[in-house]
Every structure is written in structure tokens, then in C-alpha cells.
Chains A and B, each alone.
Chain A
Amino acid sequence: MTKHERPAGGAPVSKDSARIRVNGLGKHYGTLEVFRNVSFDVGEREIVAIVGPSGCGKTTLLRCIDGLLPVDEGEIWFDQQRVTSPLPGVAMVFQHFGLFPWKTVYDNVAYGLRMAGAPQAEIDKRVPEFVKLVGLAGFEKAYPYQISGGMQQRCGLARALAVEPSVLLMDEPFAAVDAQTREILQFELLRIWEQRPTAMIFVTHSIEEAVLLGHRVIVLKGRPSGIYETIKIELPHPRTRATLREPRFAELRERVWGTLMAEAQKAEFELEKP
């Protein structure tokens, strides 16, 4: 959308630090209503984790925020721009990695920059930098099938980071890798975020992951789903492995767990009704 097409009145006034503003969002596929009246903000240097049961529409919500899917109600604002299609400054990391199998690690990382029209000199400078940042130095010439799932997702992360986005959208990025790799990648992501803080929306079905990474955790629930609760995660930064051992971490995890499970039990009871 160009500036001329923006509706009169411009972006709604909100906290000046908000990078992403989601306002009364609703989405349905045909007669199936996925979510309704979803509203939240994401600050410039804030990680918002979204958890919810399978099929609650959290991935759909993220795709709407990226501009990949149209919304039926409400609006999404990225700074002063209304999101109706993918915008520069927002980058997504996919659950399925989304690497191009015929491109090497180097060319996959360069892809986003090339699509953004970056000059070759800049690509040559930035790609090695980001390959190194995610710990893939030495694997530039490898093809995705030659490296492990964890390394593939490092590559996916580097591709998103290389365009230096101010918003990172993470769609269950570590769901497809094994447990140990997942833990390593979580701390890698925290390390990278401390170096280059951005706004981040992190969709996951792991409560622990949500509490470890998020400054706030949004719990989606119901059919159609909506925001059931937003839980502020007051854990110190930088978060490290030591964070996992803090009593406060366990409390918050239990709190999110309780919120989610109350919903899950209710849903099961509803299913059992004739």
C-alpha cells in the first residue's frame, strides 16, 4: 500500500515505542471462524510469545501479520504503514525452514537481500557476517540436504536477519528439530537478540520456550480463538541457562500451563457433549 492510499487519519496513536499494532483482528476460512477480536502491541525491543493449543490459529495470525494472508476484520500496523502485503522491515522464520534446496547456504542467506534489491557489494559483505553470526561459518557452500535440521534453521534465521528487519516473525521455528538442538537454538536466539534487539513475535506450542523467550506471553484460546490472557514475564535479562533454574521461571511456567490446561480440559468436555 502506498502512502496515498492510506485511510484518512493515519495510524492509530498508541504507545510511541510500539512497532507492531494489531487491532481487533478477525479471520475466517469460509464458515470457520479462526480467531476474533485479537488486539496487542509489540514494542521496538520486545519479544511477544504466542502460545495456544494446536489449531487455535496462531500460525494463521502470524501469516496475517506478515501480510501473507488477508484479514477479515481489524487492522495491522507496522510503524506508520498498514499491513496488507509483506512489507520491507519484517522478516519471517518458518517452521519448515523454507530453504531453497537448490541453493547453497550462502545463496539461501543472500536470497532476502537479493529480493530487497541490495547491491552485490553489500550482499558480499553482509552474507558472511550473518552466516558467522548464526554459527554456520565454513558451511557456506553446503546444500540444505547436506546439513542437519538445526543447521538448516540457523540458515533460515540468518536469511531473515540478513535483511536487518525491525520485526522478526517466528513461526514455531524450533518445532521441527530434536530436543537438545532446540534448547541450543533457543539460547542462540537469545544471544543474537541481545546483540541486535528487534521486535519479535514468537509463535510456539512449547510453554517453556514461550516463558524463556517472551517478555510477554499471549495465550490464545477458544473457538473461535481470542486472547485469553497476557502474562508479563518479569525475568531478568540476559536470559541464560540459569534462568531455567529460577523459582520465578517455574512459577510463570506453571501459570501459563494452568491457563492453557483449563482451556484444554474445557474443550475436551465440550467434545464429549452429545
Chain B
Amino acid sequence: MLRNTLSRRLPFFASLFAGMALWEIVGRNSSPAFMVPLSETLARFWQLVDNGQFPAQFLDSATLFLTGLGLAIVVGMPLGMLLARIPAVRLALDPYIMTLYATPMVALIPFILSIMGFGFAPKVLVVFLFAVFPVLYNTVEGARSIKPELIEVARSFRSSEWSLWREVMVPYTLPFCMTGVRQAIGRGLVGMVAAEFFLSSTGLGQLIMSSSQNFDTSGVFAMILMIGLIGVGLMRIGSMIENHFARWRV
């Protein structure tokens, strides 16, 4: 059994090992100003953990990310369902939503900076703006795709509007919302780093910036690697949540 799993996963591990080896070799043969080997990156990462810098900044970033993402979910899901249920509101707001969804959010950062300045709130707004549209968009499309037959069944059994939402609209739409949340996790992470770069410098973004300014290439690589791994982990969690809610969707 174990042997079987291992042989099936062989390409995965082989590729991972080759990648790590390549990083190590290229790193050892280039100037430390541009690139450092994996071993040095990991050693530097352990240093940052050990001296408390990474844990503190990680907590800082996590707070920002989770606040922004949480707001995006709290706003995006109910608003999305409302837009799906009331066509007039949807038609009215559609051009704004489409435009904002298509706009690269980074372009809005100078504007946010000029009206909100530095501090926690503008950074949360950036994460929120990055994350809210996938949630909103998927929720609207999901809620709109509900079969009219099911609404008819609810009406035939004399469902109230409130029961229709609780028993039919929300459970039906939830898996679609979760698809949006999974996408929002990725975009929110981008928003988090962008906010930490361009607004008041804190968190993992600040660690990257300060390492870069100090020519601490191994520090930069350590942080990029960590953010990447965190992103992979979050996406995994997102997929798990999505699958959990979509068990019935075959």
C-alpha cells in the first residue's frame, strides 16, 4: 500500500528533489547579491524564526490578511445573494462590479493612500478589495443558477421568504461562495503583500523590503519561500472547505 502510494507519487517527489538540487547548485554558483542556495535560505529563515522577527511579522500579516478576507466574505456573500434575488439591483450595480473586478487593484493603492493615509484600515481595505470580487461574483452566479423547479417546490410547500433563503438559497449557493473564497484567498495574499509594500510597511512585506534594502538576499528568498508555502497551504484549506460544502454537487 505504502509502496504503491510512493511509486504513484514518484514524479512529484523526483521533481521536488530536482528543483531543490537545481536551486542549491545555481545558488552556489552565482553572486550572493542575486541568488543564494536553498541551504542558506533555510538557515536564514531559521535565524529569523529564532530571533523572533518572523513570528512577530507573521502574526502582523496574518491579522491583516484574515481581517480583509473575513470582511470580503461577510460583505460578498450576502450582497451576492441579494443581487441574485433582486434583478433590478443587479442590473444597476453590474457595470461597477464588472469594472472593479477587471481593474488591477494595485492601481487603486495610491488613491487609497491619499485619502486614508497610513495605518491598519487602508491596508485592510486593500486586502478587502482584492478579495471581495471573487466572492461576490461567484455568489451571484451561483445563486442565479438555482433551478426554478426548486423554488417552485418551496412555493408549493408554502415556504416563507425567510425559509426560502434558509432552506434553499443559502445551502444551494454555499458551494459557489466557497469557490469564490478559494480564489479570494489567493488574491487576498497578493493584496496583503502589496499593501505592506506600498502603504505603511509592516509584516512579511516589510521583512522582504528591509532584507532587500540591507542586501540580505537570503532573507528575501526566505520570505518569498515562506509566503509561497503559506499560499499553497491556504489554497489547500480553501479546496477542502469547498469540497466539504459541495459534497452533494455531482
Please report A residues at the B interface, Cβ cutoff 8 Å: 66, 68, 86-88, 91-92, 94, 96, 98, 100-103, 111-112, 114-116, 143-145, 163
- For this complex, 30 residue pairs linking A to B, each with C-beta atoms less than 8 Å apart, are A68-B152, A68-B156, A86-B156, A87-B158, A88-B158, A91-B156, A94-B149, A98-B149, A98-B150, A98-B153, A100-B167, A100-B168, A100-B171, A100-B172, A101-B248, A101-B249, A101-B250, A102-B171, A102-B248, A103-B171, A111-B157, A115-B154, A115-B158, A115-B159, A115-B163, A116-B157, A143-B247, A143-B248, A145-B248, A163-B157
Please report B residues at the A interface, Cβ cutoff 8 Å: 149-150, 152-159, 163, 167-168, 171-172, 247-250
In whole Å, how far is B11's beta carbon from the nearest beta carbon of chain A?
Answer: 33
Tell me whether B171 and A86 are in contact (CB under 8 A). Answer: no
Given contacts A66-B156, A68-B155, A86-B158, A100 and B250 within 8 Å (CB-CB) = no
**CA–CA, A94 and B247, complex, Å:** 24
**CA–CA, A236 and B171, complex, Å:** 47
Contact of B150 among A100, A112, A114 (CB under 8 A): A100
Given contacts A101-B248, A102-B171, A145-B250, A112 and B157 within 8 Å (CB-CB) = yes
Which of chain A's residues have a CB closer than 8 A to the CB of B159? Answer: 115
**CA–CA, A103 and B250, complex, Å:** 14
**CA–CA, A92 and B149, complex, Å:** 12
**CA–CA, A102 and B153, complex, Å:** 15
State the 6 A-B residue pairs at the shortest beta-carbon distance, nearest first: A98-B153, A115-B157, A101-B248, A102-B248, A102-B171, A145-B250
Which of chain A's residues have a CB closer than 8 A to the CB of B152? Answer: 68, 94, 98
**CA–CA, A111 and B247, complex, Å:** 20
In whole Å, how far is B99's beta carbon from the nearest beta carbon of chain A?
Answer: 34
- Name the residue on A nearest B246 (C-beta): A102
Tell me whether A94 and B171 are in contact (CB under 8 A). Answer: no
Which of chain A's residues have a CB closer than 8 A to the CB of B155? Answer: 68, 86
Which of chain A's residues have a CB closer than 8 A to the CB of B248? Answer: 101-102, 143-145
**CA–CA, A91 and B250, complex, Å:** 28
In whole Å, how far is B240's beta carbon from the nearest beta carbon of chain A?
Answer: 18
